[in-house]
A and B are shown apart, each in its own frame.
Chain A
Amino acid sequence: MYFGILGTYAQSRPEPAKVDSSKYQSRKLKVDEINLVSAYYHQNGNNSAVTGGIGTEKLSDFANTIDLQMSKFNKRGKKNTFLFELGVDHYTSASSDKIDPNTISSASSADTRIYPSLNWTHSNEETGNSFGFTGSYSTEFDYQSLGAAFNLTRLSKDKNTQFDFKLQAFLDQWTVILPIELRTGNTGREHEQYDTAPRNSFSTSFSLSQVISQKFQAALILEPSYQKGLLATKYQRNYFTDGSLRAETLPDKRYKLPIGLRMNYFLDDHFVIRTFYRYYMDNWGIRAHTAELEIPVKINSFFSISPFYRYNNQVGTKYFAPYGQHAPSEQYFTSDYDLSTLTSDFYGAGIRFAPPKGVFGWQRLNMLELRYGHYSRSTSLVSNILSLNLKFK
């Protein structure tokens, strides 16, 4: 009987509990992905604002960013994501070289801009809700910027509706560089002392995204913004009907309201239709309609070609006039064709390559995207841009 009792106990001894690892989340900081984005941009035209609305607009820009996304889960299972980005742009400009036309090649003919930023987002993987903060900095020869932003995302229970909110501020300092003819005082070029002026920008963004069917989704975006401070580019010349010359002068306040609509439709296993429309208005009198159409063609499950076309129609600011046509009595004036009445076309194509075993057989190189676009403006400015994105996981 004794051995029977012992045998019964042996049979009923509990086995070690099996651990359910399906919801295990590592609390180590891990790299989610790294993106390299580079672009080469080249433009030319004949309406340089630096020389009053005439002259070469030749410019080249080599732009690069690297961003690193890392995440970790905390004790309560909430996700913390860190996105660090560093950008470096180098440009050369024939028109900027004309700020002082007496030199063959001045310091203003080329410049480098460096701009780091860091975002932290706290999110709930189950609900999809999140909030976060961003800090940013930018520096180039005549412009420094400090930026901060707050972002918030809320999803409906069925996750078919998403609301995004963003609040952003840039507190900038602009070095006031006048055209050489308008500079006064004892200013030897090598020891030139420039004034600085603030330029602050504030914007809010409201976005509502909706899954409409299994193949169709859309988003409506409103992004009102306000700028205050030195909003004119003081090294840009303006010539008047009486032959006089002044530096560009614009109001110190600008209110902007762009409204955008994105609609994407999954036509079939080979075609997707991506569309974007934006209406823009501001208190300087600029009104613009922008429409984009892109049709990714899926050659197979990991390779697609995406031709695109963008059209922009802009009514220019009331302060614009071409070379030599400003009236001397005007309080505000610009001959910058970027702010004039214009239409533009931008078209090209991109290829996207994301094979399951990695690009060129390298597992870490998750995706390669290459995109070319040709831009032409009714003011005779033309440009070309070639962009590359490499994603590592």
Chain B
Amino acid sequence: MKISRIFLATVSAVSLISMLSACSSVKPYQKNKINDADMTLSARKVQKFEQSFQLYREGASGANGGKSGGGCGCN
């Protein structure tokens, strides 16, 4: 359990550093593709109730824009 936590933290840190170091500065006028509706870094509004039933039917929750527990009689 401790090894998997260290592994996970390492993967997260490497992802984060790789992500930031690979960045190029994108100017506002170059963001037409980034600003596309399908490129938003969040779940779609239409997925709201899919996230709700997954919250009830599974033990895992959170980090996806939905609830992480509380506010309802869910897990």
Contact = CB atoms under 8 A, between A and B. Distances in A.
A220 B17 CA distance: 11
Given A208-B16, A220-B19, A225-B68, A338 B75 contact: yes
A209 interface: yes
Contact of B68 (A61, A203, A233, A385): A203
A339 B22 CA distance: 39
A312 B58 contact: yes
| Chain A interface SS verdict (over half) | strand
Given A259-B12, A338-B56, A389-B46, A170 B36 contact: no
A37 B59 contact: no
Given A65-B48, A306-B38, A369-B46, A278 B56 contact: no
Interface string B36-70: 11111110111111101110111111111000111
B23 A210 contact: yes
A316 B37 CA distance: 37
Contacts of B22: 212-213
Given A160-B26, A306-B38, A210 B19 contact: yes
A219 B39 CA distance: 12
B51 to A, nearest CB: 11
Interface string B2-43: 000100100010011001101111111011011011111110
Interface of B: 5, 8, 12, 15-16, 19-20, 22-28, 30-31, 33-34, 36-42, 44-50, 52-54, 56-64, 68-73, 75
Given A213-B26, A221-B63, A314-B60, 19 more contacts: A63-B49, A65-B48, A115-B72, A136-B71, A140-B73, A142-B73, A199-B70, A213-B23, A215-B34, A218-B41, A256-B62, A258-B60, A266-B36, A284-B59, A288-B58, A290-B60, A338-B58, A371-B50, A387-B48
Interface of A: 35, 37, 39, 41, 43, 61, 63, 65, 113, 115, 136, 138, 140, 142-143, 145, 147, 158-161, 169-170, 172, 174, 199-201, 203, 205, 208-215, 217-223, 225, 227, 233, 254, 256, 258-262, 264, 266, 272, 274, 276, 278-282, 284, 286, 288, 290, 296, 298, 304, 306, 312, 314, 316-317, 338-339, 342, 344, 346, 350, 352, 354, 369-371, 373, 375, 377, 381, 383, 385, 387-389, 391
